[in-house]
Amino acid sequence: MAIIPMRTLLDHAAENDYGVAAFNVNNMEQIQSIMMAAVETESPVIVQASRGARSYSQDNYLRHLMLAAAELNPQIPMAMHQDHGNSPATCMSAVEMGFTSVMMDGSLEEDGKTPASWDYNVRVTQEVVKAAHARGVTVEAELGCLGGIEDGQGAGLSEEEAQEHLTDPEEAGRFVELTGCDALAVAIGTSHGAYKFKKKPTGQVLRMDVIREIHKRMPNCHMVMHGSSSVPEELVAIINEYGGKMPETYGVPVEDIQEGIRHGVRKINVDTDNRLAITGAIRKAFMDDPSEFDPRYYLKPARVAMAEVCKARMIAFGQAGRAPGVEMKTLDDLKKYYAM
């Protein structure tokens, strides 16, 4: 089995100057796409599940999909991560299920909507760090708020409002010190979902300078970019060519993510791009042969389309070729590390 603590992977990425894409999983085809791409590019992977994914797929199906992926691909180091835990209880239920990493998103209150106070965020994050580290499990926290809503999680801030909830570099330093979290998700003006920017983002709206400043203050802090799909024009075009109706929209350019990786970003969440690839492929398959009714007829090209996106990100972020170099540590190893 090659399910490893996420911290091990982030440390290796930091030592070797690369970033790791974290792809969301809701069903079998998605995890197959991720693993196809990982095997082909020899990449270590982070597979993550939101609360929405856990209820959609039911915890047990999801857990066994991830276990199957690890069993079939023992050469691929894989971290299992809870995306946007809304409370310590959610995080600990993921730990019970065998996740090797959890995100305690205390930037929002337990409803997953209301921006939370500093004190609340520190308190719930400390609580999760204490309980998770005792089990060797990695903790990601968040400071500042992103725009948009995804899977019911998010304050629903507009592109403009998100600019008022950026992560403050000075606060980030204090927060990491107070909580002992392993990784910090930062708000730099992006949003969850497909509608991040109305035009191609400039440095005024996509604040890469915040990342550079945090990295300068805390060179050892692993930063996480959320809302970091690139929303490629060609994927939106396929959807619209085959009957979809998506307005013009812009994501986070891959070059900006690469700039982030040069300044301490180690985990990059990518979900929307995979959704676009799947939807485009299914729409095309439906139009290509309207007489087909076997789900495998349209799920196969969907799986390939998502694998292509995963592969492209793995190569762009520098995780390709890194799988053989990652130590296959266990939660017990990390338990000892945290106890020191």
Closest among 87, 93, 78, 77 to 135, alpha carbons compared: 93
Of the candidate residues 7, 12, 222, 226, the single one contacting Zn ion (CB under 5 A): 226
Contact 141, 187 (CB under 8 A): no
Kindly state the smallest distance separating residue 286's Cβ from Zn ion, in Å: 30
Kindly state the smallest distance separating residue 292's Cβ from Zn ion, in Å: 35
Contact segment (CB under 5 A) with Zn ion among 124-132, 158-166, 222-230, 314-322 equals 222-230
Residues in the chain: 340
Contact 105, 50 (CB under 8 A): no
Sequence-distant (6+) residues with CB within 8 A of 269 are: 21, 22, 24, 48, 83, 224, 225, 226, 227, 228
Cβ distance to Zn ion smaller for residue 57 or 272: 272
Cβ distance to Zn ion smaller for residue 238 or 265: 265
CA torsion through residues 226, 111, 278, 49, sign: positive
Question: Helices 331-339 and 118-133, interaxial angle, to 10°?
Answer: 120
Residue with the CB atom nearest Zn ion in the bound state? 226
Q: Is 83 a catalytic residue?
A: yes
- What's phi and psi for 156, nearest 5 deg? 70, 25
Kindly state the smallest distance separating residue 55's Cβ from Zn ion, in Å: 17
Kindly state the smallest distance separating residue 327's Cβ from Zn ion, in Å: 28
Amino acid at 149: I
Closest among 317, 144, 142, 105 to 229, alpha carbons compared: 317
Cβ distance to Zn ion smaller for residue 21 or 285: 21
Cβ distance to Zn ion smaller for residue 226 or 311: 226
Kindly state the smallest distance separating residue 298's Cβ from Zn ion, in Å: 28
Kindly state the smallest distance separating residue 101's Cβ from Zn ion, in Å: 14
Cβ count within 10 A of residue 254:
16
What does DSSP say about strands 265-270 and 20-24: parallel, antiparallel, or unpaired? parallel
Positions 276 through 295 that interact with Zn ion (CB under 5 A) = none
Q: How far is CA 251 from CA 71, 158, 181, 196, 202, in A?
A: 34, 14, 28, 6, 11
Cβ distance to Zn ion smaller for residue 34 or 185: 185
Cβ distance to Zn ion smaller for residue 207 or 284: 207
Contact segment (CB under 5 A) with Zn ion among 195-203, 220-228, 276-284, 305-313 equals 220-228
First to last CA, the chain: 26
329 binds Zn ion (CB under 5 A): no
Contact segment (CB under 5 A) with Zn ion among 47-55, 173-181, 221-229, 273-281 equals 221-229
From the candidates 11, 17, 59, 83, which is the catalytic residue? 83
Contact segment (CB under 5 A) with Zn ion among 62-70, 113-121, 219-227, 237-245 equals 219-227
Closest among 79, 99, 53 to 275, alpha carbons compared: 53
275 binds Zn ion (CB under 5 A): no
Q: What are the catalytic residues?
A: 83
Which residues form the interface with Zn ion (CB under 5 A)?
226
